[in-house]
Structure 1
Amino acid sequence: MSDYRTYITQTGFVLERDATLNNTFIDYAVLVVGDGILPDSSSPASQTDLINPIREYGIVIENDPNDASVWIARAQIPASDGGFTINEVGIKTASGDLYAYARQAGDYKPLLEEGQGKSYTIRLKFIPGNAEVMQVKIDPSVLFATPMDLENLTTLINANFVRMARAHVSTMHRQIQQEFRLLEIEK
């Protein structure tokens, strides 16, 4: 049975150590997807690169709101990109070092020309060896809305709609009352 957990690589632990010694953060740059298959007998932590990297995507890294020890890396694969199978994923730094590696289930990402367009969100959860060297990373070209974000926005829109509707009805009611008063005066 395959192990789909995300592993900090040996290089990743060295990066964490160096960041700690230099009082800096790890500079994450991209999430890389590949179609290579890491054998179950091989350790993801010993990977220095993906077996067969295919594409790189902008990355968002943030702390898990439900567990402070867990971090989440996300990247969006647009519907317009495809024609490959996703068997492996990695997080790379700006200098090209592989910080983390995860096997994937082998999802095929179709091309639009094949008659189907799917956008994928790759989401990796991981626990760094040293959370102090972690920093939230937001790639401005990558935008995400979580279900909670959408729920909060819907609640806000509904509340504003109700408030505006009540104000409008109240204004209309006053105008109608004023019109009736004017009609009474004219009689």
Structure 2
Amino acid sequence: MASTYFTLLTKAGQAQIANAVATGQTVEWTAMAVGDGNGNPTTPNENQTALVRERYRAQINQLTVDPDNPNYMIAELVIPTDVGGWVVYEVGVFNSAGDMVAVANFPATYKPQISEGSGRDLVVRIVILVSNSSTVTLKIDPAIVLASQKWVADNYLLRAKVAGGTTGQVLAKTDNSSENFRWVDPTAAVQVIVDAKTERQTLAASQTVVTLATLTTQAIAVYIEGVRLIESLDYTKTDATHITLARSYPAGYRVHMYQNDPTSTIADASETERGFTTLATTAEATTGTNNTHTMTPLKTKQAITASAIGIGYMLVTHETSSGVAAGASTANTFVVRVLNTVRANTITGASLLSNQITLPAGTYRIRASTPGNGVNLHNARFYNVTDAATVIIGTSENTTSLAATPSETTQTRSHVDGRITITANNVFELRHYCQEAVPTNGLGSAVSAGGSEVYSIVEIIKEA
């Protein structure tokens, strides 16, 4: 439903605020006026430059930002007792240049004069929506800002009445008459004695419901044979005079119940005692260094998983179609092994592109291997391209030499295993040295058994 009474920024007001926002300057609003609309209700129009019929204008009394909406400004005008004799239908706000920047219609309110036998201050407030309240400032003459009678009563008179007092004191009534009070220290000469009440009963076999004879269940503590029970876990309050135990106890067991129990604090749980416990954080569950906090089933599973495979895992391989060899080896030089398949990757920020693995900052366990076929001696290593340095050297391996025994070549794998820590994104390659050049399949011979041929393998576990 459309509002009956509302406020609009005039076109002059819109233009000035837009310019202030664009230039980083402010505009000054100085005055408000009310009018009687020539005796009729009015409808605000952004093209207005003046009120329909202005009756009274004065300096703005207050201009504040709505605490619940920083784009709402509240403008206030106080019309004094000796001004009136007309109905307020319209309200305008003016800047320091005299331009009307906002216009509002107002519920019909008659402002009497003293000569009519009745007089009162009239406070007129309107709410103005602006795009940026910080661009609007109030320019006032403090000598003519008015205070309503209510403001004086709520602020000045109250402060006069409650003057004095020191830090920590509070106001206390001195008698039942209105407005008679004094400052007192709430801790002085105050003593509170809490009387602990107790009730004891003897349980029968299979008994789970206990009917209280002298106590109520409010703020009750329950003990069986000296062991405090935990509410909701060991018992529940059925009503004001009944508790229901979660299980039965042997006949003859004594149940003690206390109200205002002086030892009501439940102790921390231990391996032998029930009590309160603190749940472990994910970091505590993963590192396993805390021996006092407990773990939920989910955190237990996460900790076991993290211990086994770390907090992230990546597996990349070199794969070809069935029957396609890995390629020719090059004699006496390190070559970059092909890596073209990501089998798994749960490490955020890790990726494979053009035979290069990118890893984010962290600590990693690296396990890799790559084959050599008929190349005689060969060796693999994990190479940091970013730092231009070998970070893990693989095992030294030997195969038969194609040159020496061309009809009986063998294939072996050089294994890379180690741990690295990096502080920023780094790029890595798997590199391979072969003593002899072997065409077509020196870097791995195909099995041709159907499915993919798998050659180089790099397994990465993120530990931290």
* Bin of the TM-score, shorter chain as denominator length: 0.7 to 0.9
Q: C-alpha displacement at 1:130, in angstroms?
A: 2.9
Is the CA contact (8 Å cut-off) linking 1:61 and 1:138 kept in structure 2?
Answer: no
Residue deviations 1:57-114 (CA, integer Å, cap 9, x gap): 1102111233322111001000111112111001011211111110112211111101
Letter of the 2:164 counterpart: N
* TM-score normalized by the length of structure 2: 0.32
From 139, 142, 147, the equivalent of 2:145 is 142
Q: Taking structure 1 as reference, are residues 138 and 29 closer, same or farther at Cα in structure 2, changes over 3 Å only?
A: closer
Find the counterpart in structure 1 of residue 396 from structure 2: none
**Root-mean-square deviation over aligned CA pairs:** 3.3
Q: C-alpha displacement at 1:119, in angstroms?
A: 0.7
Find the counterpart in structure 1 of residue 92 from structure 2: 90
Which deviates more, 124-133 or 153-162? Answer: 153-162
Find the counterpart in structure 1 of residue 20 from structure 2: 19
Q: Taking structure 1 as reference, are residues 152 and 52 closer, same or farther at Cα in structure 2, changes over 3 Å only?
A: closer
Gaps of 5+ in 1: 168-187
* TM-score normalized by the length of structure 1: 0.73
Q: Is the strand fraction higher in 1 or 2? A: 2
Q: Within 5 Å, which residues of 2 pair with 1:1-187?
A: 3-36=4-37, 37=40, 39-40=42-43, 43-59=44-60, 60-140=62-142, 141-144=144-147, 150=154, 154=158, 157-158=161-162, 160=164
Is the CA contact (8 Å cut-off) linking 1:30 and 1:57 kept in structure 2?
Answer: yes
Letter of the 1:72 counterpart: I
Q: C-alpha displacement at 1:120, in angstroms?
A: 0.3
Is the CA contact (8 Å cut-off) linking 2:29 and 2:136 kept in structure 1?
Answer: no
CA distance in 2, matches of 1:7, 1:46: 10
- How many residue pairs match? The answer is 165
Gaps of 5+ in 2: 166-170, 173-181, 186-464
Q: Taking structure 1 as reference, are residues 99 and 160 closer, same or farther at Cα in structure 2, changes over 3 Å only?
A: same
Which deviates more, 79-88 or 1-10? Answer: 1-10
Is the CA contact (8 Å cut-off) linking 1:62 and 1:135 kept in structure 2?
Answer: no
Q: Taking structure 1 as reference, are residues 10 and 32 closer, same or farther at Cα in structure 2, changes over 3 Å only?
A: same
Identity within the alignment, %: 27
| Matched residue SS, 2:110 | strand
CA distance in 1, matches of 2:41, 2:87: 14
Q: Taking structure 1 as reference, are residues 26 and 88 closer, same or farther at Cα in structure 2, changes over 3 Å only?
A: same
Bigger RCO of structures 1 and 2 (CA < 8 A, at least 6 apart): 1
Q: C-alpha displacement at 1:29, in angstroms?
A: 1.4
Q: Taking structure 1 as reference, are residues 66 and 152 closer, same or farther at Cα in structure 2, changes over 3 Å only?
A: farther
Which deviates more, 123-132 or 50-59? Answer: 123-132
CA distance in 1, matches of 2:68, 2:133: 15
Which has more radius of gyration?
2
